[in-house]
Chains A and B, each alone.
Chain A
Amino acid sequence: GDSVTQMEGPVTLSEEAFLTINCTYTATGYPSLFWYVQYPGEGLQLLLKATKADDKGSNKGFEATYRKETTSFHLEKGSVQVSDSAVYFCALSEGNDMRFGAGTRLTVKP
């Protein structure tokens, strides 16, 4: 069945460092891909999405490109801030449910 594999955390970076969180997926068809972020004590918030191959999703300085040839959707940000500290989830959907990765905890230190 469909699944998502994320880079294991935790990831600790200094402020202004470059961030990459790897995500690869397995799907039978052509899923939509998502990144969600979960701040402490809060629910998941949609960060960005891409619905077809070569689409680039972007929001708040974060970007991810839907790569069908490598079945990947890696999350990147050029310069992280302390406020970006959270858990990041990669997800896919082909139908009426959504499959999530296990999450990657990011801590950004000043």
Chain B
Amino acid sequence: DTGVSQNPRHKITKRGQNVTFRCDPISEHNRLYWYRQTLGQGPEFLTYFQNEAQLEKSRLLSDRFSAERPKGSFSTLEIQRTEQGDSAMYLCASSLDGLQLGGYTFGSGTRLTVV
């Protein structure tokens, strides 16, 4: 297992287009998290899955954002009608024990640039 994998690494899109990112967590991890990181800031929580169930969503996750985790394995994050303010690094993380015990394992992220 090579850890948490995110694809693509980079995405440049025109404003108004839809984009989709994929995250493959560590296989035995049942929890999966999406974060957004803008330049010079720490990651901000977007949403969280336990197996296939999406249990929590941040107010940052507007109705243009949707995340899925079919079958409790990989996850996708889709942004519809992208705006320049969506430009950021999108990070995926996974964990097994629950947050407080082990912390998260993060992927390398997908950097989105909206032009």
Interface residues of A (CB under 8 A from B): 4, 31-32, 34, 36, 41-46, 49, 51, 89, 91, 93, 95-103
The smallest beta-carbon distance between B56 and chain A, in angstroms, is: 5
Are B101 and A42 interface neighbours, CB within 8 A? Answer: no
Are B41 and A102 interface neighbours, CB within 8 A? Answer: yes
Q: Which of B44, B55, B107 contacts A43 (CB 8 A)?
A: B107
Task: Report the separation of the CA atoms of residues A91 and B91 in the bound assembly, to the nearest whole angstrom.
Answer: 15
Task: Report the separation of the CA atoms of residues A93 and B109 in the bound assembly, to the nearest whole angstrom.
Answer: 21
Task: Report the separation of the CA atoms of residues A93 and B41 in the bound assembly, to the nearest whole angstrom.
Answer: 18
The smallest beta-carbon distance between B61 and chain A, in angstroms, is: 12
Contact sample, A vs B, 27 pairs, CB 8 Å cutoff: A4-B42, A32-B103, A36-B106, A42-B108, A43-B4, A43-B106, A44-B91, A46-B103, A46-B104, A51-B100, A51-B101, A93-B99, A95-B99, A96-B48, A96-B55, A96-B99, A97-B56, A98-B43, A98-B45, A99-B45, A100-B42, A100-B43, A100-B44, A102-B40, A102-B42, A103-B40, A103-B41
| Those of B44-58 within 8 Å (CB) of chain A | 44-45, 48, 55-56, 58
Task: Report the separation of the CA atoms of residues A68 and B102 in the bound assembly, to the nearest whole angstrom.
Answer: 20
Interface residues of B (CB under 8 A from A): 4, 6, 33, 40-45, 48, 55-56, 58, 91, 93, 99-109
A98 with B104, Cβ < 8 A, contacts A93-B99, A103-B40 known = yes
Q: Which residues of B contact A97 (CB under 8 A)?
A: 33, 45, 48, 56, 58, 99
Nearest A residue to B41 by beta-carbon distance? Answer: A102
Are A44 and B48 interface neighbours, CB within 8 A? Answer: no
